Amino acid sequence: MDTIFQTDPLQSELFDSLRLELRRGCLILAVLAQLREEHYGYTLRKALADHGLAIEESTLYPLLRRLETQGLLTSEWREEEKRNKRFYRLSPLGRRILDQLLAEWNGINDSLHRILGSQAASAVESQPELTGHQE
């Protein structure tokens, strides 16, 4: 008998792959949003983790370089606490793109809530024991 709690290796691999796809887009949005204020790598990772979105260094630094190459971020090296650190911030283009991405995200999120809400309501209506109504 298949249940959601049993782990089929193929199902687990598929879930991991789809989860990674979903997470990539969310991480880009989260990094851009967090960089409305200046951060260096460590403080950015910590801020994201503090908000429940942990990210590995091996993911973060290539993402920061790519976003900077795309013109969405600016960076500068500065000495702080006797160490050179690279500080990142949104560029003017990055701010405009972030605004557009947030509008897109909010539209998608609203649509998903409506879809999931209507499915949940349908599931409850089709199971009288959940509504307290017996036929």
- Find where tokens 């959601």 sit: 4
Q: Are 65 and 124 in contact (CB under 8 A)?
A: no
Q: How many domains does the chain have?
A: 1
CATH number, position 109: 1.10.10.10
Residue span of the structural domain in which 118 resides: 11-130
Which tens digits make up the pLDDT trace of 41-66?
Answer: 999 999 999 999 999 999 999 999 99
Spatial strand order in the sheet of 39-40: 39-40, 83-90, 73-80
Q: Is residue 5 domain-resident?
A: no
Q: 73 forms bridges with which residues in the sheet? A: 90
Q: Is residue 87 domain-resident?
A: yes
Which tens digits make up the pLDDT trace of 61-95?
Answer: 999 999 999 999 999 999 988 999 999 999 999 99
pTM: 0.78
- Alpha carbon distance 75, 64 (integer Å): 9
Per the document, the length of the chain is 135
